[in-house]
């Protein structure tokens, strides 16, 4: 009887950095809630992105990236602006951080993908199934993944994408 070969387990270390976006948000109240129990203030958010920070292991970040950011290097943060709310109030100027890229071209490709996806979503008039509420994009290493889209929904309104040029802070 032949001997079984021992299979050595290779430990693959997947490099991931959790990133927090340094985002200062100013909120204006456009309309104060009335006295009804369901009402809430209508607000508008204004964002000023100052940079990115790598968070310690065990802390939550805004984005997980497949590289270790370095000081003095430019990175490209893909953001989506959108409005949301419900029957009783509106929230304008919301911002979603999608992904961080080392190359501008990769960030631009993600923005283009989101626009194409939104065009398809709007043509279907939305609310057609779970796939309509996510988009498949690529990260900096070329791996594809599903991203859940908070800018899609009955009360949501897509405002557009933008690319912020950011640096490591701190």
- Model confidence pLDDT, tens digit, residues 44-70: 889 999 999 999 888 889 999 999 999
- Which pLDDT does position 149 carry in this prediction? 92
In this predicted structure, the answer to whether residue 138 has a pLDDT above a threshold of 70 is yes
- Which pLDDT does position 14 carry in this prediction? 53
Read off the pLDDT band of 39 (50, 70, 90).
low
If one compares 35 and 93, the residue with the highest pLDDT of the two is: 93
What integer best gives the mean pLDDT of the chain?
Answer: 85
Phi/psi of residue 77, nearest 5 degrees: -100, 120
pLDDT, tens digit, for every residue of 66-116? 999 999 999 999 999 999 888 787 888 899 999 999 999 999 999 999 999
pTM of the model: 0.82
Of 59, 120, 107, nearest in space to 80 by CA: 107
């Amino acid at each position: 009887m032949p001997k079984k070969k021992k299979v050595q387990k290779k430990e693959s270390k997947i490099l991931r950095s959790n990133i927090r976006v340094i985002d200062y948000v100013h909120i204006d109240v456009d309309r104060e809630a009335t006295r009804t129990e369901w009402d809430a203030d209508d607000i508008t958010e204004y964002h000023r992105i100052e940079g990115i920070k790598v968070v310690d292991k065990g802390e939550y970040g805004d984005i997980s990236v497949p590289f270790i950011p370095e000081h003095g290097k430019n990175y490209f943060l893909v953001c989506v602006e959108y409005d949301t709310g419900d029957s009783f109030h509106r929230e304008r100027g919301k911002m979603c951080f999608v992904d961080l890229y080392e190359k501008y071209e990769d960030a631009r490709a993600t923005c283009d993908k989101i626009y194409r996806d939104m065009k398809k979503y709007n043509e279907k008039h939305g609310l057609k199934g779970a796939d309509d509420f996510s988009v498949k994009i690529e990260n900096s290493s070329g791996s594809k993944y599903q991203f859940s889209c908070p800018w899609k929904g009955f009360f949501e309104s897509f405002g557009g994408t933008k690319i912020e040029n950011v640096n490591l802070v701190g």
